Amino acid sequence: MDRYCVFGNPIAHSKSPLIHAEFASLTQQQLSYDKQLVAEDQFPQAVAEFRRQGGQGANVTLPFKQQAFELCDGLTDRARLSGAVNTLYWQGDQLWGDNTDGEGLVRDLLRNGVELKGCRILLIGAGGAVRGVIPSLFEQQPQSIVVANRTQAKAETLAQHFAELGDISSCAMDEIDGAFDLIINGTSASLSSTALPVNADVIQRAKCCYDMAYGSEPTVFQQQAKQLGVSKSLDGLGMLIQQAAVSFERWRGVTPDPQPVYDLIKRQL
């Protein structure tokens, strides 16, 4: 039986084994998928040992996405641009890396009726989560992307890195102004129940607000958006499942239906 896993630290909370087990069942694929806790200085050794034991592919979560990027022999374009890898697979003896986060986000947005072509997008945050989705967002031909962060220098670094892809600029969090069709929160603010320090008039003009975080209840950012009358607010559970589906396609060559898995996890939250 083909073996897959997710590497991380911590890893006990990961829903990846459940998601991929359901995908396998839905597509009649025979495989096993486990989670592996890895010491922060043992990631290359863990990948090598997994391969030696017959591993076919793996997901990578915090804090190893950068290490995975550096470990790979080959990279997809979006992984190269984002500077991080969340999906590993072997081609012969070569280890290849992909980043499926952006495509997962895009699929979830499109599935929920969010039009991205010609869209004005505000990305809040300048960490790995935001960096990983910018290439896939630009593939959808938005009008523009603005990256806002508490430390503008980090946002400016991202804007410069992705300048070749399209119209992208940066600003400090307290300087956000203008009208945006889509606002995406890529910070961890909702995980600590902290409201985003964004002007109310900026949020209320948006057509959709999207939080990469998720939970059993609407996130703080979703609640902000709803209180300000935004017609559509979404959390990141769909992105989690959709990015896993892209990894599954990469490994198995079949496309799983994410909806039954979304319904299952939603019931469990």
Q: How confident is the model at residue 21 (pLDDT cuts 50, 70, 90)?
A: very high
**Residue 9 annotated as part of some ligand binding site:** no
pLDDT for 203-255, tens place per residue?
999 999 999 999 999 999 999 999 999 999 999 999 999 999 999 999 999 99
| pLDDT recorded at residue 190 | 84
Question: Is 207 one of the catalytic residues?
Answer: no
CATH 3.40.50.10860 domain locations along the chain: 2-99+238-268
2-99+238-268: CATH topology: Rossmann fold (3.40.50)
Nearest partner of 198 among 216, 172, 219, judged by Cα: 172
Residues 80-96 have pLDDT tens digits of: 999 999 999 999 999 99
Quote the pLDDT of residue 192: 84
151 annotated ligand-binding residue: yes
Grade residue 191 by pLDDT with cuts at 50, 70 and 90: confident
User: Is 154 labeled as ligand-binding?
Assistant: yes
Kindly write down the DSSP assignment for every residue of 34-97, as one continuous string: EEEE--TT-HHHHHHHHHHTTEEEEEE-TT-HHHHHHH-SEE-HHHHHHT--SEEEEETTEEEE
Contact 37, 5 (CB under 8 A): no
Set 65, 226, 232, 266: catalytic member: 65
pLDDT confidence bin for 193, thresholds 50/70/90: confident
Question: 102-235 has which CATH code?
Answer: 3.40.50.720
Residue 126's CB is within 10 A of a number of other CB atoms, namely 25
Where are the domain boundaries for CATH 3.40.50.720 in the chain? 102-235
Judged on CB neighbours under 10 Å (0-12, 13-18, 19+), 242 is buried
Q: How far is Cα 95 from Cα 218, in angstroms, rounded to an integer?
A: 39
Enter the tokens of residue 229: 């009358």
Query: How confident is the model over 42-68, as pLDDT tens digits?
Result: 999 999 999 999 999 999 999 999 999
- Residue 150 counted as an annotated binding residue: yes
pTM comes to: 0.95
CA distances (Å), origin 63, targets 9, 98, 260: 6, 16, 29
- The set of residues, in sequence order, having a beta carbon less than 8 Å from that of 13 and lying 6+ positions away, is none
Q: Which of 36, 93, 28, 82 shows the shortest CA–CA distance to 59? A: 36
**Annotation-wise, does 86 bind a ligand?**
yes
CB 265 within 8 A of CB 18: yes
Looking only at the bridges linking them, the beta strands covering 55-60 and 120-124 are unpaired
